[in-house]
Amino acid sequence: MESWACMLEIITCAILIFVSIVGNSCLFFSTRRCISGPLQPSFLLIFNLVFVHLLKNLVVNIMKIVYSSGDMLDSVSCKILRFTETLTTRLAIWFMLLFAVLYHRKLYYIVHPSSETPNSNHQKGHLKAVSIIWITGFGICIPILAFTEKSQHLNAANGTGLLCLKGLDKVCEIDFGNQQVEYYYEKIFLVLIDLLPLTILVFVCFWIVFLLWEQKKLTYGGIWMGDDALEIEIFRGAKVSILLTLLITSLWISHFVIICFFKNLESCHFIPALLTALSSGFSVVSPYILMLVNYKVKLDAFCCRKKEKSTIQPTNALSCPYA
């Protein structure tokens, strides 16, 4: 049974890696084709999300396959695995929050137009925000890289199957030399670092839902005149933000509940594969949702059409998603 559990986790990781590589590669190249001028903030966020997703699957899940195959991880491998897993989880949440805030802001200016012309040059501001997110993520996770060690309490003689059922957090332990410090950092600080932006993200998405409801009400009232292609793409991007929020929040809560409230996880042979699927689910599914901004779900949703070279009817050119 133990070997069956290890094989199930290996198969799960392999499927997640393959699907994630395909989805994120398609998202990267389809988004890249949309760029015809300065790098838009939404493009910048998508590229960072693609990199974070690939980093999680190509580092964390591959190392999980190696571990489940029976090869014990050394201290360096433990440091890399725990650091990358923690970093990519935090970055995905923060970038998703920034993505939702971006579309909330665009939607707000459409539903509540201001007499003052908003500043359209946000590239520098978002570039700074992205840089701050990366620096903050590395700063928060540096203790993991410094203090993670291979557990000395595991006995290799227990066999590959038994080790497979032990979570990697037990195999690769954070050792500060003080249990209280370890508890506050790993159980409280890292959880709050996720929980706070997730709470803000849910609040932002509720606000997006309210703005979409306002827009629909204005439409029924015969007042709304927003038939511009760019505005339609903003509406779709806002709806995608809601879907992604539901996805990342449900996956994070499910993962957290299983780890914190289900005891004796080693007795459930499907738990390692389930936890892997929950932790990597967002990096696998979200690229396909981002590519489905176009509600018609046609080829235009996957590959943006470039603007027509002809200048006779320039208004016929399709605007790319995420603009």
Report the SS3 class of residue 316. Answer: helix
pTM: 0.83
Q: Residue 194: inside a domain, yes or no?
A: yes
DSSP letter, residue 291: T
Q: Residue 256: inside a domain, yes or no?
A: yes
d(CA 315, CA 70): 60
Cα end-to-end span (Å), the chain: 51
Q: Residue 321: inside a domain, yes or no?
A: no
Residue 255 has phi, psi (to 5 degrees) of -65, -45
User: Which tokens in the block code for residue 124?
Assistant: 């520098």
Q: Residue 221: inside a domain, yes or no?
A: yes
Q: Which pairs with CB-CB distance under 8 Å and at least 24 residues apart come from 61-65?
A: 61/13, 61/16, 61/17, 61/276, 61/280, 62/13, 62/17, 64/9, 64/13, 64/168, 64/276, 65/9, 65/10, 65/13, 65/14
Residue type, 164: C
Per-residue pLDDT of the chain (323 residues; tens, 9 = 90+): 457 778 888 899 999 999 999 999 999 888 887 777 667 888 889 999 999 999 999 999 998 888 888 767 788 888 898 999 999 999 999 999 999 999 999 888 888 876 565 555 566 788 889 999 999 999 999 998 888 887 765 544 444 444 555 666 677 788 888 888 888 898 899 999 999 999 999 999 999 999 988 887 765 554 554 556 677 778 888 889 999 999 999 999 999 988 887 666 656 677 888 889 999 999 999 999 988 764 443 334 344 444 444 444 444 434 444 44
Residue in 284, 264, 279, 238 with CA at minimum distance from that of residue 19: 284
Q: Residue 323: inside a domain, yes or no?
A: no
Residue 167 pLDDT: 62
* CB of 4 closer than 8 Å to CB of 272: no
Furthest CA-CA distance within the chain = 76
Q: Residue 150: inside a domain, yes or no?
A: yes
Cβ contacts of 185 within 8 Å, gap of 6 or more:
143, 174, 176
Tell me the CATH number at 307: 1.20.1070.10
d(CA 16, CA 239): 25
DSSP assignment string, 222-255: T------HHHHHHHHHHHHHHHHHHHHHHHHHHH
Q: Residue 95: inside a domain, yes or no?
A: yes
Burial class (CB in 10 A: 0-12, 13-18, 19+), 149: middle
In Å, how far are 18, 24, 275, 284, 298 from 58, measured between CA atoms? 10, 12, 17, 12, 30
Residue 29 pLDDT: 87
Residue 258: give the domain boundaries: 2-316
Residue 67 pLDDT: 81
Residue in 267, 266, 235 with CA at minimum distance from that of residue 104: 235
Q: How many domains does the chain have?
A: 1
Q: Residue 25: inside a domain, yes or no?
A: yes
